[in-house]
Structure 1
Amino acid sequence: MRDPYTVLGVTRGASADDIKKAYRKLAKQHHPDLKPGHAGNEERFKEISAAYALLSDPVKRARYDRGEVDASGNERHAGFGGRSAHGARSRAHAPGGSGAGGADEGFGGWGDDWFSDLFGGRKRPGAGAGSGTGTSGGAKARGTDIAYSVTVPFLEAANGTKRRISLSNGKSIDVAIPPGTENEQKLRLKGQGLSGLGGAPAGDAIVEVHVEPHPYFTRQDGDIHVDVPITLNEAVLGATIRVPTVSGPVAVKVPPGSNTGSTLRLRGKGVVSQKTKAAGDQYVKLKVVLPDPPDAELVQFMEKWSKTRSYDVRKKAGLE
């Protein structure tokens, strides 16, 4: 076997964390499930796993660095008729299995942390002292999850929709985007990830939904907020106006004397909250807009009106 440092592409002074990162990267690249039928992939994967099994063990690594064991973890020959200087046989046998890898020799020394890192945080079934599941045929592990992302318009996320995605295995499936889906919400598709090892369940497909912003709607949990302009006469006299909602326009009464900043509440016109599973409300903030360009008669009227009926709004607001 080659030098384990060379196999993992790290220096002899690499930290334990650097070794683990290098191993995880290579293991994911060469895992048999990722490239089924790829020539030499399984052997390469075994070599990577064996290198990590040696270098991730501080005792084994130190002995290798001192030249006491070879790259496979075997005792180096030191004469005495095939025995080491300590009287042990030249090939070490770990409890629960044969060879340098012991119970985990199957794919070059798999350990529980390997399965935990690469297969969704679950340990290898039967792992532990003397478990004896030492061959690739007996190893079982849940398949890895695969991440995907889709982008949907704001209104489609609010009302629910579907998106088709292509899986890593070449299949295409329609993903249901439930009503009220929030930006960066993750949807889990059971069993649509990589297949498991040894008959273990497949991993899942994790679909992250990105919701496009809307030109005038904003969302806070299940509530929708929108600014709606109204005319001066609608503000002063009151009116019935059409207001957009995520489910379509509705008629709304503007009370006489409404002002910029006045807010109307439309119950149940929000979206389904993923927290409460109930529809939120829509809040309509009014914004009084003057004619553009200015109306000459309105200007004349205001000049006359202001001489006897002017009022101080800044003093009332505490700005003077």
Structure 2
Amino acid sequence: MSKRDYYEVLGVARDASEEDLKKAYRRCAMKHHPDRNPGDAAAEAAFKECKEAYEVLSDGAKRRAYDAHGHAAFEHGMGGGGPGGPDMGDIFGDIFGNIFGGGGARAARRGADVGYVMELDLEEAVAGIEKRIEIPTLVACDPCKGTGSADGRVETCGTCGGRGNVRMQRGIFAMQQACPACGGRGQTIRNPCTECHGAGRVEEEKVLSVKIPAGVDNGDRIRLTGEGEAGPPGTPPGDLYVEVRVREHDIFQRDGDDLHCEVPIRISQAALGDTVRVPTLKGEAEIRIPAETQTGKLFRLRGKGVKSVRSRSEGDLYCRVVVETPVNLTPEQRELLEKFEATFIGEEARKHSPKSATFLDGVKGFWDRMTS
């Protein structure tokens, strides 16, 4: 029987993103996983099919080959969705770990992952920075070197044979659960460590130095492999995920690789034109304000934005001018403005304030229609 199209297997479009592929694979795997469908040969075959499809499409090189040649790209020893694909454990870890009762050796293969939120100023996020953080976590017990045994002697559990789980049969239902004798560790200790009481781990404030790459943005996560919680005796530690939160800035707002800011200008500058200096993250720049500039006009400064961790070039800075109404006028200034305002009469007013004139015409027409 011919193989189904990998995109059809996962139910995604051919231009699906990496995240779309991962979500689709999770749905497919959840539906057909053998632990959810014990004894169902069709479900097992479907599970293998979606696993093979994901292994190919999640690998950039294999996906390009598949898009170009289909399944023929992996015939005659050219590779394919078999060994050597992406590590599926990362996906299964957060899907099946707590659903199918695999609480034994399978669920205890590593320590728990740890999350940490790091707040940064915009300047720090754009330029990159190295920061020290303190994390309350579980670390390997030093006196017993993480074994949990005071004398270093660890024995294989006689109940589960070191597997860490036992299978219980009740009628037609079979259940897998953590071994009650060893608590899922697969090992037993005769002489527990007095410091960790046989757990092999103790609570501690862990101090780390974290390098934040230049260009990170809100919601970006940095993975530090092996810096999470220490695992049970004989298992590796989990990972640390540092999530970036960028504080609001007094001047700039970030939108991807671009920055935005408001630049207040005086009425005289807007009417007559001027050159003003504006701040950037790397110093100052100049923008030329043409005569008769209105509030809201955007000025684009190329390359004055942000170079994110995902791009090769810097974004732009967009300056939006705001014509500011003067306050705290002196008597002389007020008199000058009154004389200026007195010149806006009749057609002169329409000539110098076309938007106001258009608005007033619209209002008059509206009232005429309402009263007719």
Q: TM-score, normalised by structure 1?
A: 0.53
| C-alpha contact (below 8 Å) 1:161/1:179 kept by paired residues | yes
Aligned to 2:355: 313
Is the Cα–Cα contact under 8 Å of residues 253 and 260 in structure 2 kept in the other structure? yes
Contact in 2 for aligned 1:191/1:205 (Cα 8 Å): yes
Once residues 261 and 90 of structure 2 are traced to their aligned partners in structure 1, the CA distance between those partners, rounded to angstroms, is: 47
The answer to whether structure 1 residue 177 and structure 2 residue 176 are counterparts is no
Does 1 or 2 have the higher relative contact order (CA < 8 Å, sep 6+)? 2
Answer yes or no: is the 8 Å Cα contact 2:217–2:246 preserved in 1: yes
Matched, 1:263 2:263: no
Counterparts of 2:327 and 2:311, CA distance in 1: 44
Counterpart code for 2:223: R
Name whichever of 142-151 and 169-178 sits farther off. Answer: 169-178
Indicate the residue corresponding to 1:212 in structure 2: 247
In structure 1, what is the Cα distance between the partners aligned to 2:252 and 2:108? 49
Residue 145 of structure 1: aligned partner: 113
Pick one of 92, 102, 124 that aligns with 1:156: 124
- Contact 1:159–1:247 (Cα < 8 Å) also in 2: no
What is the one-letter code of the residue matched to 2:121?
P
Between the aligned partners of 1:236 and 1:149, the Cα distance in structure 2 is 48
- Structure 1 residue matching 2:283: 3-state secondary structure: coil
2:321 counterpart letter in structure 1? L
Q: Which runs of 5+ in 1 are unaligned?
A: 1-55, 58-114, 129-133
Distance 2:91 2:311 in 1: 34
Letter in structure 1 aligned against 2:349? S
* Residue identity in the other structure for 1:166: E
Identity of aligned residues (%): 34
Separation (CA, whole Å) in 2 of partners of 1:176 and 1:239: 43
Q: Distance in 2 between matches of 1:191 and 1:212?
A: 28
Per the TM alignment, residue 187 of structure 1 is displaced from its structure 2 partner at its CA by: 1.3
Superposed CA offset, 1:258-298 (max 9, x none)? 11111100111111234434311111001111321342212
User: Does the 8 Å contact 2:213/2:309 carry over to 1?
Assistant: no
Asked if structure 1 preserves the Cα contact closer than 8 Å seen for 2:349 and 2:357, the reply is no
- The one-letter amino acid of 2:279's match is P
Answering whether residue 252 of structure 2 is matched by residue 227 of structure 1, we say no
User: Kindly tell me: are residues 117 and 280 of structure 1, through their superposed partners in 2, closer, same or farther at Cα, counting changes over 3 Å?
Assistant: closer
2:343 aligns to what? 304
Q: What SS class does the counterpart of residue 242 from structure 1 fall into?
A: strand
**How far, CA to CA, are the matches of 1:191 and 1:160 in structure 2?**
22
In structure 1, how many angstroms separate the alpha carbons of the residues matched to 2:343 and 2:320?
31
1:220 CA displacement: 1.2
- Counterpart in the other structure of 1:21: none
> Among 224, 230, 236, which residue is 2:271 paired with?
236
Distance in 2 (alpha carbons) for counterparts of 1:243 and 1:250: 5
Following superposition, the deviation at residue 219 of structure 1 comes to: 1.4
Aligned match of 1:249 in 253, 266, 284? 284
Q: Is this contact kept in 2: 1:158–1:180, CA < 8 A?
A: yes
Question: Cα distance, 1:197 vs. partner?
Answer: 5.0
1:122–1:141 distance in 2 versus 1, CA, 3 Å: farther
Q: How does 1:1-320 map to 2 (within 5 A)?
A: 141-167=109-135, 168=137, 169=139, 170-197=205-232, 199-294=234-329, 295-296=333-334, 297-306=336-345, 309-311=348-350, 312-314=354-356, 316=358, 320=363
The aligned amino acid for 1:148 is Y
Q: Secondary structure at the match of 2:126?
A: helix
- Distance in 2, matches of 1:288 and 1:177, equals 39
Structure 1 residues 225, 232: CA separation in 2 closer, same or farther (over 3 Å shift)? same
Q: Distance in 1 between matches of 2:229 and 2:306?
A: 34
Question: 2:68: which partner in 1?
Answer: none
Report how far residue 195 of structure 1 moved.
3.0
Higher share of residues assigned strand = 2
Distance in 2 (CA, whole Å) between partners of 1:300 and 1:178 is 58
| Runs (5+) with no aligned partner, structure 2 | 1-34, 37-88, 140-204, 364-372
Q: Given residue 211 of structure 1, which amino acid in structure 2 is its aligned partner?
A: V
